[in-house]
Structure 1
Amino acid sequence: MRAIFTKWIERYFSDEEALFLFLLLGAFLLIILTLGKPLAPVFSGLIIAFLMQGGVDKLVKNKVPHLVSVFIIFVAFMSFLLAFSLIVFPLAWRQLSSLFLELPRMVQQVQALLLVLPEQYPLWISESQIRDIMNLASSELSNAGQMVLAFSLNSLTSVMTLLVYLVLVPILVFFFLKDGRSLIRWWVTFLPNKRQMMTKVWREMDDQIANYIRGKVIEILIVGSVTYITFMMLGINYAALLGIIVGLSVLVPYIGAALVTLPVALIGFFQWGWGNEFMYLMIAYGIIQALDGNVLVPLLFSEAVNLHPVSIIVAVLIFGTLWGVWGVFFAIPLATLVKAILNAWPGLQESPDPQKETVI
């Protein structure tokens, strides 16, 4: 057993660069787990700067000075941040509060519909079971409403944290954009001279992850904006709130669109019933999803991430459980990082061909 373990260590960890990369990844993961909260503004600024670096590079290629390019992209970022903070977020919050006030009426409508079932299927369900289910649902909704009210009244700490983010993150974004290249050169001085494997991983990640993250942000903005405008033209209640939900649903591949269909359909049904307006709403929503999947995604993601659907779903579950919304957003890039490391890791490139193995 010791000989097998020693052989396995020699095969995969005998290369000093592989061992250094393994220790580096372990140290980075330890920093995130232990100092993730206090360093969250730094990580947020780094990620946002990474997203906007492509715009700076394009302006520089068009003979715009680097500092001027940084100012242009930074002003665009601040304009978007102010518009979201002063217009979109307050509107969505008001609609969310209004939705919680409307929930009791919606529950009564659902109860009236479900009470018809015991008359049609008396052997399968009784009226008392329906009332128990509805009482439980009403209790849960009441608790959720109280949580929202408590958050809005007593969340001084959250408000202060938000204010810190609004001040620190833009400052960090500006300096990361302005001095990012010099910071990278300074960081590289701490790496070993032999770093062919790390260079290979970095190039693969830079080609795929940069395009994926930027494309995903653009997809969220386009899908959310088109959904909001369409729903507002149709006259559905809570159009801004639904637009944000539908836009964020593209973060979760395969299941995001299916999950967000339920709130869209329920709000449309409670407002219009089974009328023509409800059918127009669902047709418009279906067209938005079809255009997103068949037109927008191929345009934004010209270089598809070569991951199996099962790998993507597993990555979303694992990283979403570890880091919440950020984990869901970066699930595919992190899975791509794991794949790039495995492709470059010594010993894994020379895996035996199963068809050439001798069956004993």
Structure 2
Amino acid sequence: MQFSPAQIRAATWLGMGLLAWLLLAALSPVLMPFVLAAVLAYALHPWVERMAARRVPRWLGAGLAITVLMLVMLAVALLIVPVVSKQVPLLREQVPALLEHLNLWLTPLAARFGLDLQIDVNLVRDTLRKLVSGHESELIDGLLSSLRIGGSAVLAIVGNFTLMPIVAYYLLLDWDGMVGRVKALVPPRWLEPTQRFLDETDDVLGQYLRGQLLVMGILAVFYTVALALCGLKLALPIGVFTGLAVFVPYLGFGLGLVLALLAALLQFQSLTAVALVGAVYAIGQVVESMYLTPRLLGERIGLHPIAVIFALLAFGHLLGFVGVLIALPASAVLLVALRRLQTLYVGSDLYQDGK
């Protein structure tokens, strides 16, 4: 059987694509800090270019951009520390008292239905004493063992997050040169359509980043104000943290919810107040999922709300935590590619012959 040159070229590109996919799958654990560093470098590159236009040396601009980003991330992390350090030790003292009040209400109610229902407050008190008083290391060891994470793996995770800003810094230093070298690999006849594709992708990703920042700001204000109206003393740190942490879908919201419920439980010692705080987070999640993310992110990058949800689930399944982080920007790039393929298909003989 004789193959045409076009078929040979198509088979060659298909084989190269398959080989690249297998290589990426094999090296995915090693590539994680480099992928995240590339995303950071892409997001920070416009800032470095603006500073360079004002005659700030590129090495200094890249260093300032990375430093500011790391300080922001550190500030967000430090928002959690006062909450955890001040609230968790109070669990041992206040939760048993709250459960005793719950027993006073629950036991007579259960007795009406012929049930002997009562919470073992002493057991809860002993469990909390073990968890909070000097046994934290045993708890962490057990958690790491249950997750099958060894010390070397934990060290690798810390090393990856240390490596990420370093790689991003060097990418920022040589961004233009690196992009030029990649473009030099593109065949000359494909250079113009490739440049148009990259320009359109850059525009879509820029809209995504602006939309994401807008969603984070709106939610930070909403959670702070709503929790303050509930009377929560830690409304500001918890609300700001929750709003900024939604950059990581589901995980950021979940952590903020746990912190808010814990703070409400220890401050009010009332199930009604805890339920009110939970209602705030339920409303916030509905608004974010049904309106903010689809409207301010999905519409900005041209993704249907269902496509946004599918992208988060699909990329999270394929690439884990990193996949959740890059789901929407990667989907924006795929959307641009699909638009191009649709244009080619509509103009092809395969489509035209059907008319």
Amino acid at match of 2:66: F
Q: Distance in 1 between matches of 2:100 and 2:170?
A: 56
> RCO higher in 1 or 2 (8 Å CA, sep ≥ 6)?
1
- Counterpart selection for 2:333 from 337, 349, 353: 337
Aligned twin of 1:35: 27
Amino acid at match of 1:92: I
Alignment of 1:252 onto 2:249: yes
Query: Structure 1 residues 281 and 78 mapped into 2: Cα distance closer, same or farther (>3 Å)?
Result: same
Q: Distance in 2 between matches of 1:261 and 1:162?
A: 26
- Counterpart selection for 1:180 from 165, 175, 179: 175
Aligned twin of 2:147: none
- Counterpart selection for 1:109 from 85, 98, 118: 98
Matches within 5 A, 1:49-64: 49-60=41-52, 63-64=53-54
Amino acid at match of 1:174: Y
Report if the CA contact (8 A) 1:250-1:257 is conserved. Answer: no
Query: Structure 1 residues 70 and 215 mapped into 2: Cα distance closer, same or farther (>3 Å)?
Result: farther
Q: Distance in 2 between matches of 1:19 and 1:336?
A: 27
Q: Distance in 1 between matches of 2:160 and 2:258?
A: 36
Q: Distance in 1 between matches of 2:296 and 2:51?
A: 19
Q: Distance in 1 between matches of 2:62 and 2:290?
A: 30
Listed one character per residue, the Cα deviations across residues 188-224 of structure 1 (whole Å, up to 9, x for unaligned) are 2222334366445433321112331355257547855
Alpha-carbon offset, residue 45 of structure 1 = 1.9
**Long gaps (5+) in structure 2:** 145-149
Alignment of 1:305 onto 2:284: no
**Long gaps (5+) in structure 1:** 1-9
Amino acid at match of 1:40: M
Query: Structure 1 residues 296 and 337 mapped into 2: Cα distance closer, same or farther (>3 Å)?
Result: closer
Report if the CA contact (8 A) 2:294-2:308 is conserved. Answer: no
Alignment of 1:75 onto 2:68: no
Report if the CA contact (8 A) 1:117-1:125 is conserved. Answer: no
Report if the CA contact (8 A) 1:96-1:238 is conserved. Answer: no
TM-score normalised by length of structure 1 = 0.65
Q: Distance in 1 between matches of 2:328 and 2:243?
A: 19
Q: Distance in 1 between matches of 2:156 and 2:224?
A: 30
Q: Distance in 1 between matches of 2:115 and 2:274?
A: 30
Q: Distance in 2 between matches of 1:270 and 1:57?
A: 48
Alpha-carbon offset, residue 172 of structure 1 = 2.2
Alpha-carbon offset, residue 272 of structure 1 = 1.6
- Counterpart selection for 1:315 from 293, 299, 311: 311
Listed one character per residue, the Cα deviations across residues 101-146 of structure 1 (whole Å, up to 9, x for unaligned) are 4455547735753774464366879445977xx98xx79x969965
Query: What SS does structure 1 have at the residue aligned with 2:30?
Result: coil
Aligned twin of 1:4: none
Q: Distance in 2 between matches of 1:99 and 1:279?
A: 18
Please, which moves more after superposition, 331-340 or 177-186? 331-340
Query: Structure 1 residues 128 and 28 mapped into 2: Cα distance closer, same or farther (>3 Å)?
Result: farther
TM-score normalised by length of structure 2 = 0.65
Aligned twin of 2:77: 89
Aligned twin of 1:208: 204
